[in-house]
Amino acid sequence: MAKQKKYIFVTGGVLSSIGKGIAAASIGMLLEQRGIKVTMAKMDPYLNVDPGTMSPFQHGEVFVLDDGAETDLDLGHYSRFVQNAEFTRKNSFTTGRIYDTVIRRERAGGYLGKTVQVIPHITDEIKRHIDEAAGEADLAIIEVGGTVGDIESLPFLEAIRQIRADKGAENVLYVHLTLVPYIAAAGELKTKPTQHSVKELREIGIQPDILLCRSDRKLPKDVKEKIGLFCNVPGDQVFSAIDVSSIYEVPTYFAEEKLDEKIVERLGIWTSSPDLSKWSAMVEKIRKPKGEVTIGVVGKYTDWRDSYKSLSEALIHGGVANDVKVNMLYVDSEEIEKGTNLDLLRSVDGVLVPGGFGERGIEGKIKAAEFARTENVPYFGICLGMQLAVVEFARNRCELKEANSAEFRPEGRESVIHMMEAQKSVTEKGGTMRLGAYPCQVLSKFGGHATKAYTAYKKEQISERHRHRFEVNNQYRSVLEERGLLVSGKYQDRNTGTELVEIVELPGHPWYLGCQFHPEFLSKPLSPHPLFVGFIKAAKECGKGGQPGLKGIG
């Protein structure tokens, strides 16, 4: 008989932002390390069909998958914690997508004669999406976005309630993450918010099996028992989820608490203990770095770190590979524009200009690229950061004084960055950029030396994820190259033969590289992305704390 597929549903109570995504990802990591074929999915209760059109201010970063899906940032956590699962657009869906599917089917006559309703039509569609997300995996961990008690989450909760009866109680486990605050005035851990949140779940028919209690300290046995009693959960199924200094410590902490052991026991899965040796060694490197570097991240969303989530994680991974702690100094590009904080950049070991949209702060980012180029400070430009490095180089090295990106000067005369051909006829905003994985050919040598790109990747064929509308204008390629900007990575369209610039670098500079794609989406703590490894290595070697900077032509 085929193995019975198992499901774990992760819900959250009391507050948002208590780490549901990381908790779910950590469970996924531990179960995968036990040898189980795991997949994960996120269901989001908002009406956008996907988060692609949402401001990262509001909902954090948009995480892009190989297939071009624009997904919730939790997919980023899943990708970093779970090694073998391949995530596609099936692994992230929203209320908007569910309704869109149901309404299209209704218009096509798919429900002829019926009144289309939340129960059963929306809930059935949610269950179909869950089945699709689970795919071929033996165990699917499905996270419900939002907080129990939100009106929006109700259809998702109703669907997962039904699934226990559909799939058999022994195959479904409900994990609920709540908050147990320590109230200093009373000197006590307070269990009431947890009791209320579980009460709310039980009112809609879901009895959680496992409670993960986020708190700033370990829950003593009597507190666990009290929670268990009020929430109808055995005391040994109540776990603490304490604050840890690095998110990568969460799985090792859960393993110490034997959370994964309890989960497999409850689901009747027979496995060996998880092999955490590599993971623990990585965590040890984060805990005890041998040195540190500071990277100036120049952006406009300076106060909202979640919009650069994958980026900050990829920098940490690059640090792990180089045995250093990476400090991120967020530098507001609008302040650089005003001339108030270019000095801040003098204190950093590397400058990074990440991806972005819109005109605000653009000139400040261009100044940051110029500073890094002329002062021989390692520079990493990602997507917009690469485009602006090209603009800067065109203005200051190619006498193209009006050089700009057509994104900011649509009528400009010297658009060294222009809109991609395929984008010109596009009128819809959602899901219409150049999205997802495209192959890129890396140039191995230039002038007798290995290129920086090849030194990092050590291969000529790579695949990277994209999310952009604009690109380097090929009309300007020859002048840029004549003046010393090397195109060390390109994409060639098989049908039309057109080339797109994917990577640029400066041969004489210690490390100056820009890429049109987003390498941060592929970086994992156990396999740090080669460009981040290369950038941090350069920052370590050339930076203030390391060897004196190499001299380059700039």
Looking at the DSSP bridge assignments, the partners of residue 94 are: 44
**Residues in CB range of 188: below 8 A, 6 or more apart:** 182
* Contacting residues toward ligand GLN, per CB under 6 A: 355-357, 383-384, 407, 467-470
CA 554 from chain center: how many Å? 33
DSSP secondary structure string for all residues of 111-123: TTTSPP-IIIIIH
Closest CA to 35 of 250, 296, 274, 295: 274
Of residues 125, 518, 529, 542, which has the active-site annotation?
518
For residue 9, give the amino acid letter. F
Catalytic residue among 213, 383, 398, 515: 383
For ligand GLN, give the closer residue by CB, 156 or 476: 476
Beta strands in 429-554 (DSSP E): 434-442, 445-446, 449-450, 461-468, 470-472, 486-492, 499-505, 512-515
Structural tokens at position 211: 């409670």
Q: Where are the beta strands (DSSP E) in 129-171?
A: 139-144
Q: Establish whether 125 is a catalytic residue.
A: no
Helix-, strand-, coil-residue percentages of the chain, each rounded to 5? 40, 25, 35
Which CB sits closer to ligand GLN, 357 or 446?
A: 357
User: Least distance to ligand GLN from the beta carbon of 432, Å?
Assistant: 11
> Least distance (Å) from ligand GLN to the CB of residue 518?
7
Least distance from C-beta 489 to ligand GLN, angstroms?
A: 16
End-to-end Cα distance, the chain = 66
Active site residue 261: no
Residues 186 and 176: their CA atoms lie apart, in Å, by 26
Instruction: Please state the closest distance from residue 470 (CB atom) to ligand GLN, in A.
Output: 3
Torsional class of 514: left (φ above 0), alpha (ψ -120 to 50), beta (otherwise): beta
Of residues 121 and 467, the one with the C-beta less far from ligand GLN: 467
Query: Min. distance of Cβ 55 from ligand GLN in angstroms?
Result: 13
User: Given the complex with ligand GLN, which of 276 and 406 has the nearer CB atom?
Assistant: 406
With CB atoms as reference, the residue minimizing the distance to ligand GLN is 355
Q: Shortest approach of ligand GLN to residue 468 CB, angstroms?
A: 3
Between residues 105 and 469, which has the closer beta carbon with respect to ligand GLN? 469
Distance CA 34, CA 90 (A): 25
Query: What angle in degrees, to the nearest 10, is found between the helix axes of 249-256 and 277-287?
Result: 120
Question: Which residue lies nearer to ligand GLN by CB, 210 or 311?
Answer: 311
Task: Kindly tell me which of 23 and 362 has the beta carbon lying closer to ligand GLN.
Answer: 362
Query: Min. distance of Cβ 491 from ligand GLN in angstroms?
Result: 14
- State the Cα angle at 75 between 274 and 98, rounded to 5°: 125
Q: What three-state secondary structure class fits 42?
A: strand
List the catalytic residue out of 158, 520, 529, 541: 520
Q: Is 466 annotated as catalytic?
A: no
**Residues classed as catalytic:** 383, 518, 520
